[in-house]
Structure 1
Amino acid sequence: MTQPVFRFAPSPNGRLHLGHAFSALENARLAARFGGRLLLRIEDIDTTRCRPELEAALVDDLAWLGLPFEPDPVRQSERFPVYEAAAAGLRARGLLYPCACSRKEIAAAIAAREAETGRPWPRDPDGAPLYPGTCRGRDPDAVLAEAAREGRPVAWRLDIGRALAAAPGPHLYQRFAEDDATETVSADPARWGDVVLVRKETPTSYHLAVVVDDAAQAVTHVVRGRDLEAATDLHVLLQRLLGLPTPLYRHHGLVRDEAGAKLAKSLGSRPLAELREAGWSPQDVRAALAGAAPSSD
């Protein structure tokens, strides 16, 4: 039997908080439960916000918690050529198209459609308006040439219609439980629309990089927050398109603050380092999370 492989994949764009600690501890607990390996991946494709000192800080926080990660974590910033190759393969099959639209132009196009139809524009599971397809169907060379003349950066979007034709449904994945039992989940990647797979400022996106790296690291069990559960629909489609295996998934609930909001770096949630400075021990962290542990699938 293949040994299970788990991974925890933080981004060094801020300090880790209790929500990260819960996810890391949950991965470590389940890896021990199933006799699996525990990997650390540094998801630092956002080179403008991710910094070496923040990576060193998160590694220090995880070591303080006493988590048994294997050495030499993968850094996504060192794997851009791998993601570029995956995107090139999709591009060669006509599944990606260039898009130079600005956020302002996209918002204006959506507002015009809403005014014309009198109905709200559809949104993706994260609440963002679906891309209205402005550049879809245009000649890719013309879009690229025009963008070059105007000095505009270009993103590459997945043509969801063509992608679903290339990998028709049903799109299924397995959710695993504490006792290793699984249940089949039906995914709906269409609800994400024409997502960006290659960003304007970096040669990949979270969605593309995560499925490529899970396969490269032979990850068998993905344990992450429920806020990423809907993204699994898109990941299952990309795995099909790229000929990659689909891991088992488990999405845990989110640690929330006193007001009921999920913890987030962008909201200034109290970092682990501050708790350490206030005298917390790793055992205190575990006790706090056990007392208000989010339920999992």
Structure 2
Amino acid sequence: MPPSERRFSAIGAPWRIDTEEPLDDAGFERVLALVEEFDRAYSRFRDDSLVARLARDGGTVDFPEDAEPMFALYAALYRATDGALTPLVGASLEQLGYDPAYRLTPRWPALPSPAWDDRLRVEGSRVTAAEPVLLDVGAAGKGALVDLVSAELRAVGVGGATVDASGDLLHTAPEPLRVALEHPYDSSLAIGVVEVSGAICASAANRRAWADGLHHVLDGRTGLPVREVAATWVLSETALEADGLATALFLTDPERLLGDFDFRWVRMFTDGSADYSDDLPGEVFAA
């Protein structure tokens, strides 16, 4: 048992923090306050968020300072995927039923996302929309929050932590963490094992799936779910980057991303085959 283990729920997922030094109640309350602030800024599932304001009114919204690296990553991945990965995918997800009421009943036809240059201007953490637009930061938002929680732990004097947001995690303890790669079609199996020093994030089509083959990883150009890839895993220095790249690997090949990012990866396809980095710190059983 680690010296400190804290569990809580945030942004729709169970979280766990393991620290080498005890995390006292005051420090834990600071973490929970940070999580609430993040949700109040970026959630499309609550009426009082900044995302909801932009969807309702358009215009200019000043997001927290932590938005700057997140939107910069989105801009880079938007270019690398030719517009397939986009934070403007919120209305596309709601069209397919993934809305605040969780109707999970699609309306057809699918709704492609608007072009970034036509609808959005981002200057640091300030976002201006030419007209109301619904953002969804699910492709990288959980990773961003993992990084922020880890930084908050350091700020309260707690080092050597593992922040685990249901498989998207950042490990800052001295010894690497051995992590199994869960099979997307059978949670009792692993397709491989890796050693993590830093961040690992995963994305899987089965995690949020509904109706007849619908899931949350959409191609923004069509508004339809990706069909060829079943799951991805990315190891990187930050959870923000690992989370965004894990989504991008559904939409483009690793070679399009390796010129701009330093990461290791595993990708499993819907036919059961897999590919992965030559320098992966671990092994893949299924390939």
| Structure with the higher fraction of residues in strand conformation | 2
Greater share of helix: 1
More relative contact order, 1 or 2 (CA 8 Å, 6+ apart): 1
| TM-score normalized by the length of structure 2 | 0.29
Whose radius of gyration is greater, 1 or 2? 1
